[in-house]
Amino acid sequence: MSGVNEIRKTFLDYFATEGHAPVASGPLVPRNDPTLMFTSAGMVQFKTLFTGVEKRAYATATTAQKCLRAGGKHNDLDNVGYTARHLTFFEMLGNFSFGDYFKERAIELAWNLVTKHFDIPASRLLVTVYIDDDEAADLWKKIAGFSDRRIIRIASSDNFWAAGETGPCGPCSELFFDQGESVFGGPPGSADEDGDRFLEFWNLVFMQYDQIAPGDRRDLPRPSIDTGMGLERMSALLQGVQSVFETDLFRALIRASVEASGVPAEGAALASHRVIADHLRASSFLVAEGVLPGNEGRGYVLRRIMRRAMRHAQLIGAKEPLMHRLVPARARDGRRLP
């Protein structure tokens, strides 16, 4: 398993074979959803299916969703370039059940994909569950054969997922990959959890509630499933690199930035090239959806992203505008970059 395109295809094909309808990514700017500035997760286009307001021909689905986390509740803008895993724009792979299967099948499907198709050794994996979710803990024991030591109970909001202040939500169970002792960091819930050793790569959300308003949480008509796997993080893991910026996809973009600027991706310039590569994707996809730089709302977020990229281009010494020259960047073999 190597390239980002192949990893995305393996995920979508697996869930299609398991009976899920392959559904195209929803837009980055959610339609008819005043609660969100941008699509921040795969479940956004399915909110009305979870709540039962809308019915479609399928009860399970799989997607590769374009996401942006640069404004509103989910905002990673200032981390980009300085950590191994934060991006503003990324693709989220997901499988969804709208009142069809629930915890057991979700865990079984995830476990089989990760260990049998992505061939990740079980010995490198651990999971979290919401503190009082004995059912999920027991299922991990049964399906993965985990002992209590590899099932970490978390009480905080890290293990309860919601797209915004209102809407479908629920407790979750996250899958982590242990990159080994040579990487700094501690397991989830420990003082050093923000280090990179334990990489969170998949979140299984047990959708059970609809948050109508603060303090008013009701049961969904039927328990459902929403999962989110960061394609770029999974690619780093499967390509054996420690940063999303070292994957094939980002190497090609950083190479384009290096060639256009004439500045090697080394020392202080490394973070700048990474910022430029990430922000190039975010701003290109936003402009493609009709968002233009402006003084408020989405336009202001786009303006901040573009301004930050341009500042980094200046920092590495670019004398002429750089970003627009990178938009057509292709992988070395001429493939379009995903």
CB of 202 to ligand GLY, least distance (A): 8
CB of 53 to ligand GLY, least distance (A): 19
Measured from the CB atom, is 226 or 232 closer to ligand GLY? Answer: 226
Measured from the CB atom, is 156 or 314 closer to ligand GLY? Answer: 156
Measured from the CB atom, is 39 or 283 closer to ligand GLY? Answer: 39
CB of 30 to ligand GLY, least distance (A): 14
CB of 227 to ligand GLY, least distance (A): 7
Say which residues have a Cβ less than 8 Å from residue 311's Cβ, sequence separation at least 6: none
- Report the distance separating Cα 157 and Cα 141, nearest Å: 23
Measured from the CB atom, is 226 or 278 closer to ligand GLY? Answer: 226
CB of 111 to ligand GLY, least distance (A): 18
CB of 36 to ligand GLY, least distance (A): 12
Give the interface with ligand GLY as residue ranges (CB under 6 A). Answer: 41, 43, 161, 203, 205, 226, 228
Measured from the CB atom, is 90 or 111 closer to ligand GLY? Answer: 90
- The residue whose Cβ lies closest to ligand GLY is 228
- Report the distance separating Cα 174 and Cα 151, nearest Å: 10
Which segments of 155-255 are extended strands (E)? 160-162, 167-178, 198-213, 216-230
Measured from the CB atom, is 179 or 203 closer to ligand GLY? Answer: 203
Measured from the CB atom, is 60 or 203 closer to ligand GLY? Answer: 203
Which segments of 38-185 are extended strands (E)? 60-68, 70-71, 74-75, 89-97, 125-130, 151-154, 160-162, 167-178
Do the beta carbons of residue 200 and residue 188 sit within 8 Å? Answer: yes
CB of 203 to ligand GLY, least distance (A): 3
Do the beta carbons of residue 33 and residue 47 sit within 8 Å? Answer: yes
Measured from the CB atom, is 172 or 313 closer to ligand GLY? Answer: 172
- Report the distance separating Cα 26 and Cα 269, nearest Å: 35
Do the beta carbons of residue 248 and residue 4 sit within 8 Å? Answer: yes
Any bridge partners for residue 209, and if so which?
169, 219
Measured from the CB atom, is 224 or 261 closer to ligand GLY? Answer: 224
CB of 96 to ligand GLY, least distance (A): 9
CB of 141 to ligand GLY, least distance (A): 23
Of the candidates 66, 17, 61, 78, the one whose C-alpha atom is nearest the C-alpha of residue 38 is: 66
| Helical (H) or strand (E) element with 22 | strand 21-22
* Angle (deg, nearest 10), helices 248-261 and 267-288: 110
For the four alpha carbons of 308, 312, 318 and 319, in that order, the dihedral sign comes to positive
Of the candidates 47, 46, 38, 25, the one whose C-alpha atom is nearest the C-alpha of residue 74 is: 38
Of the candidates 122, 131, 183, the one whose C-alpha atom is nearest the C-alpha of residue 152 is: 131
